[in-house]
Amino acid sequence: MDRQISVPIKKEDAVSLRAGDYVTLTGTIYTARDAAHKRMQEALDAGEALPIEMQGNVIYYMGPSPAREGRPIGSAGPTTASRMDKYAPKLLDLGLGAMIGKGKRSQAVIDAIVRNGSVYFAAIGGAGALLSQRIKKSEVVAYDDLGTEAIRKLEVEDFPVVVVIDSQGNNLYETAIKEYQK
């Protein structure tokens, strides 16, 4: 199924998606990678507020390359999501609506996706230059000292992703293998 979704993502949109759905996202998403996730966890451990609201928001696991002249951002391909697995369940429990990355997720993350009615999207690895064309604005909103790993607020238009793990726990990485083997 092809779907157009506005982000931040509404709970009813997240739970209506199924593994294998092609989706385009339009609106606001945030970037955060390993170092930013570590900082957010440290803030939570210290009883401090996070620099961004989690409720319904989407975090894209991406560290952009420098922007070319006249562009808001450089190449913007996904990074391996499993590196954020130790942090993701807590953020999902705080209301994170969706994550975008590439690769498999741990069982703890899958359980948190199901528990919270969230979704995990994959963006196409190796297509960072094309994906960056769907990013209309980029601004650092936290942890500027982390450079490419700073948290950025992105305005996206028709950003293409695929649902890999849906709110029911269906996992495209598993079902696609079974389907291919038939």
Q: Can you give the pLDDT at residue 62?
A: 95
Q: Return the amino acid letter for 160.
A: P
Q: Tell me which residue of 79, 73, 115, 86 sits closest to 100, measured CA to CA.
A: 79
Q: Can you give the pLDDT at residue 181?
A: 65
Q: Can you give the pLDDT at residue 67?
A: 87
Q: Tell me which residue of 116, 121, 60, 59 sits closest to 93, measured CA to CA.
A: 116
- Regions of the chain with pLDDT less than 50: none
Q: Can you give the pLDDT at residue 179?
A: 67
The bridge status of strand 22-31 relative to strand 151-165 is antiparallel
Tokens at 141, concatenated: 């909103």
The predicted-structure confidence for 118-150, as pLDDT tens digits, reads as follows 999 999 888 898 999 999 999 999 999 999 999
Q: Can you give the pLDDT at residue 1?
A: 64
Exposed, middle or buried by CB within 10 Å (0-12, 13-18, 19+), for 66? exposed
Tokens at 76, concatenated: 């913007």
Residues ≥6 apart with Cβ < 8 Å to 17: 3, 5, 23, 119, 163, 166, 167
Q: Tokens 């997240």, residue?
A: 14
Q: Tell me which residue of 75, 174, 162 sits closest to 124, measured CA to CA.
A: 162
CA atoms within 13 A on the CB side of 130: 8
Q: Can you give the pLDDT at residue 65?
A: 86
Tokens at 139, concatenated: 């601004």
What's the distance, Cα to Cα, between the start and end of the chain in Å? Answer: 22
Say how far apart CA 136 and CA 147 lie, in whole Å. 20
